[in-house]
Structure 1
């Protein structure tokens, strides 16, 4: 990826994270902000919006760090196992383990005595459903081989990025963080092939210009 395309990638992902968090923040924390709209306190609304966008930029940076770490791990995994099928099998095991952790360990860590485990399936279900949708979209834009890696990234990487808030277990923050992470991760995963083609085209143009000179 050329530096120009990388900067474009970085900035657009920042924008996606900021806008998503700005929207999601007012939805998931509506109880806190409803009075601002009822009383038409526009300065306060703008203040909160800018704060949410700032938080979203942080979420976006976390997402981008996770994405580039995933690309490194993916290449490392292929190098170790020497086979897409074997590496995909390892990724499936890790996906199942992470989904199990999202349910069982959160239940053991935060549930009161006598609480049902059923509500703790919600977070895992959201991550799984979004991950499957994005993975199917990735297959349509690339090939079938990309399904498991895309699902792995959307589930495992998102959960790892999400860990600081999961440990606190504050519901509003859990949802405030996960949706921007999912959107940013999906955006990066789906836009990467297009940006790689754009980078390749730029290299061809640069080489042609050098040759002409």
Structure 2
């Protein structure tokens, strides 16, 4: 991806984080900030709004750091665990879901004893993770991206959320959780589109590098490999069907 699209991807993620944080904060902080707008105290309102926007920048930046860590961690896991990597990801996903509840409840809510007040966070992360992972898998048929996408949306999100969900102020939790999930989903779903737009622009300008050619060859080999596997499966099915017909005919002959 060219620097132009990388910068655009970066700043749009920041903008999204600012907007989501501002919306959530204005709803949850009505008594502290939003009411000043209705009362005509614009100075107090804009001071609070600037604070929310700054916090949104922080959350979006944390989300971007987690995303680039994931881009490094995923191929590393594939290289170390190979075929076991999907199962390792599933184990980490289950651990992360439990850890979100355990850390939040036993750090803050033991004395309160209100389980539902703390368990909604892992439920929200898990549900949104499954929705985004399914969406990602549908957009890339034949690539088996459901488990990696689920791993990023649940495990990486939960790890990133730990510093933010151990506070007692629920307003901080709301603006952190919703903003982080939104930014993570945006980056996971939109990165391929930015890469595709960048490659298209380079091709139009004739700026095709050696790395681009290697990537194109790799994609062609993967496509040929998938087509070959599909042909082999089709041949196996036809062969099994033919063997079944032959065995049935032989049984009929012996029966007669």
Larger displacement relative to structure 2 (128-137 or 201-210): 201-210
Matches within 5 A, 1:121-132: 121-132=119-130
Instruction: Return the alpha-carbon distance in structure 1 between the equivalents of residues 157 and 89 of structure 2.
Output: 14
Partner in structure 1 of residue 170 of structure 2: 171
Partner in structure 2 of residue 24 of structure 1: 24
Q: Structure 2 regions of 5+ residues with no counterpart?
A: 210-256
Partner in structure 1 of residue 98 of structure 2: 100
The alignment partner of 2:144 has SS state of: helix
Instruction: Return the alpha-carbon distance in structure 2 between the equivalents of residues 206 and 124 of structure 1.
Output: 47
Deviation at 1:209, TM superposition (A): 8.7
Partner in structure 2 of residue 111 of structure 1: 109
Deviation at 1:53, TM superposition (A): 1.0
Deviation at 1:126, TM superposition (A): 0.7
Matches within 5 A, 1:129-144: 129-143=127-141
- The structure-2 alpha-carbon separation of the partners of 1:167 and 1:111, relative to structure 1 and needing over 3 Å to count, comes to closer
Partner in structure 2 of residue 207 of structure 1: 206
- The structure-2 alpha-carbon separation of the partners of 1:209 and 1:74, relative to structure 1 and needing over 3 Å to count, comes to closer
Instruction: Return the alpha-carbon distance in structure 2 between the equivalents of residues 37 and 114 of structure 1.
Output: 34
The alignment partner of 1:145 has SS state of: coil
Partner in structure 2 of residue 150 of structure 1: 149
Partner in structure 1 of residue 81 of structure 2: 81
| 1:42-75 Cα shifts (integer Å, max 9, x gaps) | 2322222222111111111110000000010001
Deviation at 1:190, TM superposition (A): 0.5
Partner in structure 2 of residue 162 of structure 1: 161
Larger displacement relative to structure 2 (101-110 or 168-177): 101-110
TM-score (norm 1): 0.89
Partner in structure 2 of residue 197 of structure 1: 196
Matched positions, count: 208
Q: Structure 1 regions of 5+ residues with no counterpart?
A: none
Higher RCO (CA-CA < 8 Å; seq separation 6+): 1
Instruction: Return the alpha-carbon distance in structure 2 between the equivalents of residues 66 and 205 of structure 1.
Output: 33
Deviation at 1:208, TM superposition (A): 5.2
Larger Rg: 2
Partner in structure 1 of residue 187 of structure 2: 188
| 1:99-131 Cα shifts (integer Å, max 9, x gaps) | 111123332222334724343321111111111
- The structure-2 alpha-carbon separation of the partners of 1:43 and 1:139, relative to structure 1 and needing over 3 Å to count, comes to same
The alignment's C-alpha RMSD in Å is 2.0
Residues 17 and 59 of structure 2 are in contact (CA less than 8 Å); yes or no, is this contact kept in structure 1? yes
